[in-house]
């Protein structure tokens, strides 16, 4: 798990407030996708092609799914930041908990711009690997289909010959 390594570590936090945790998790998901792209690129550079190839396509899929989510995540962050702390908790006595949770949200949200600035580079780093894998898989599938078609033709020719022999007897 690359996220257990210092170089790719992603911290998480549990604020105790589900609404805040959900938005923090969305930001962390984007950070994790960018870190994973870095990890895949490092694997490829280290010559660990099989490992890099196994992770390239799902990593690219995740990056592409997240690339347009910045405004949505930012909107959720802004909504929570503009929500009075007492409205995030069940009782006014927990307002300090909400204030602390909003502080954690602000810290994580502060990385949002930089993380999304890194996203295009992460995509372009993983995209060539993923395309090469897709092209290789398509070529392999085409070869298998051609072989299956050839075997089907041979089988049909054998059936025709068999029918001719049976007719001649």
List Cα–Cα distances, 20 to 10, 27, 42, 53, 142, in angstroms. Answer: 18, 11, 33, 35, 49
Is residue 125 within 8 A of residue 37, CB to CB? The reply is yes
pLDDT tier at 134 (50, 70, 90 boundaries)?
Answer: low
Number of continuous H segments (helices) and E segments (strands) in the chain: 5, 0
pLDDT tier at 40 (50, 70, 90 boundaries)?
Answer: very high
Selection from 74, 84, 75, 79 nearest residue 109 by Cα: 74
CA gap 58, 63 in Å, rounded: 9
Is residue 80 within 8 A of residue 19, CB to CB? The reply is yes
> What's the pLDDT tens digit per position in 70-119?
999 999 999 999 998 888 888 888 888 888 999 999 998 898 889 999 98
Selection from 126, 100, 111 nearest residue 20 by Cα: 100
């Amino acid at each position: 798990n690359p996220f257990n390594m210092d170089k790719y570590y992603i911290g998480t936090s549990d604020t105790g407030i589900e609404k805040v945790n959900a938005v923090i998790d969305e930001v962390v998901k984007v950070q994790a996708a960018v870190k994973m792209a870095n990890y895949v690129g490092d694997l490829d550079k280290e010559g660990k092609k099989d490992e890099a190839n196994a992770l390239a396509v799902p990593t690219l899929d995740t990056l592409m799914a997240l690339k347009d989510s910045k405004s949505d995540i930012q909107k959720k962050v802004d909504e929570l930041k503009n929500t009075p702390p007492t409205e995030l908790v069940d009782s006014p006595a927990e307002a300090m908990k909400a204030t602390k949770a909003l502080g954690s949200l602000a810290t994580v949200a502060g990385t949002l711009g930089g993380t999304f600035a890194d996203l295009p580079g992460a995509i372009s780093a993983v995209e060539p690997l993923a395309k090469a894998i897709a092209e290789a898989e398509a070529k392999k599938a085409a070869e298998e289909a051609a072989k299956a078609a050839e075997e089907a033709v041979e089988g049909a020719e054998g059936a025709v010959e068999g029918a001719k022999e049976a007719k001649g007897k």
